[in-house]
Amino acid sequence: MSDNLEAQKDELLALASIYDEEEFCRADSGREGEIHLCLELPPDFKLIIKEPTCVEYGILFLPIILSFDLPVDYPSSSAPVFTLSSKWLTGVQITTLCKRLDELWEANRGNVVLFTWIQFLKEEALQYLGIHSPLEIQRFAGQSQGESGQTQAAEKSKPKELDPRAVQEVDHRTDILNHLLDFDEAQKQKVFDGKVFCCGICFSEKLGSSCLLFKECQHIYCKACTKEYFEIQIRDGKVQFLDCPETECTSIATPAQVKFLVGEEEFARYDRLLLQSSLDRMEDVVYCPRTSCCTPVMLEPKTTLAICPSCRYAFCTICNRGYHALSQCIATAEEIKHLREEYFAASEIRKKFLEKRFGKQVIQREVENYFSTEWLKGNSKKCPSCGTHVQKDRGCNKMTCTSCWKYFCWLCFTVLSDNNPYDHFSDQNSKCYNLLH
């Protein structure tokens, strides 16, 4: 008996040195435990779900659990008492694996066998069952199984009576797909955390556990550099540009990655600005015009009335002033001042909006004023005495204002004498003498 206990102790110590606490769990008794095995798959392995539509998922790892209890006379006489459990294998498939574990024990009777079982399950189980990519699974328990042809053929050659040690850890509420995808993601992260990478910013070599991976582009930077980069962008309000620091790379960091790195205050600002940015792009959302409120307001179709759900302010969605029913929006002097330039540069949709807001007559008047002003600038000059626009269509450079009847020089805008206005043009000291001689 002492030899058996010594062999058991050595075997369990060996397993504890190979697997971490998450993978290898021992009971207080010392002879019971669970081994959470991770089956490593080929790089192009796919899971497939056919209901309601056919969708493929690329994965690298699948889980299976081996629970054991070592009898007192193990390994000299008895085999370990075990159960084999899985959420994605069928009862027949798990039964087939249980029978194979029995065969391996018989082939190694008298020797410790747990490590042999583990190696078989990790390295040979899929091939032994005839499972290959794509592996079709049912998302929820109780659905009809639809394994590949090879798997069905393998099952037909195996015993159909289910082994009581074969455990399917599922019920009708279990989402098998999400369980497998979560397990695969966790294992990928575990592998990543154990590798060494060179940060593309500080060029230091660090473990993956101290790095951040942009999943879309697979670029890697240390968390310290990425944290500082994110915080600068957030402080500047550039929440739409929390992308990969790689030049010309457009991969965007996920909100979960941002939350993991930055502080609570920075993430709260990021979350608020990101929401506001999303609302700004929604055509049916405006903000309450009261500066003390600014709550987002959903627009109702075919009406210009909006009521803020927070402060209950009723306002016009066109001019953002108090609601005025069918009355025309009143434009401020500043708005009218820039209306012409805005209207000329606007798209057709924007022009219709401006016409709806200010009225076509107001815009037409401003456009006419604009063209009148532009024509006057190019075809007339202002009287230096009263400022009236005067047009010259013929004759000499002595002009007479039609408003104040003052004489002035067309060339230099000098007000001329009423008695002898032509003396100006022969005066050598006048501003335009050199232009005329």
Active site residues: 396
Q: Which among 90, 204, 188, 222 is positioned nearest to 146, based on CA atoms?
A: 90
Residue 245: DSSP 8-state: S
Any idea what the Cα angle at residue 358 is, between residues 352 and 361, rounded to 5°? 90
Between CA 93 and CA 130 the distance in angstroms is 10
For residue 184, give both structure tokens: 């695969």
| DSSP β-bridge partners for residue 179 | none
**Which has the closest alpha carbon to 8: 36, 35, 32, 34?**
32
- CA torsion 315-320-324-328 (nearest 10°) is -160
Contacts made by residues 95-104, CB under 8 angstroms, sequence distance 24+: 95/158, 95/159, 95/161, 95/162, 95/163, 95/166, 96/128, 96/129, 96/154, 96/155, 96/158, 96/159, 97/121, 97/125, 97/128, 97/129, 97/166, 98/163, 98/165, 98/166, 99/158, 99/159, 99/163, 100/128
DSSP-derived pairing of the beta strands 55-58 and 220-222? unpaired
Angle, helix 91-107 to helix 149-156, in steps of 10 degrees: 60
197: helix, coil or strand?
strand
* C-alpha dihedral sign at 310, 313, 317, 319: negative
- Residue 166 CB partners (closer than 8 Å, separation 6+): 83, 84, 85, 91, 94, 95, 97, 98
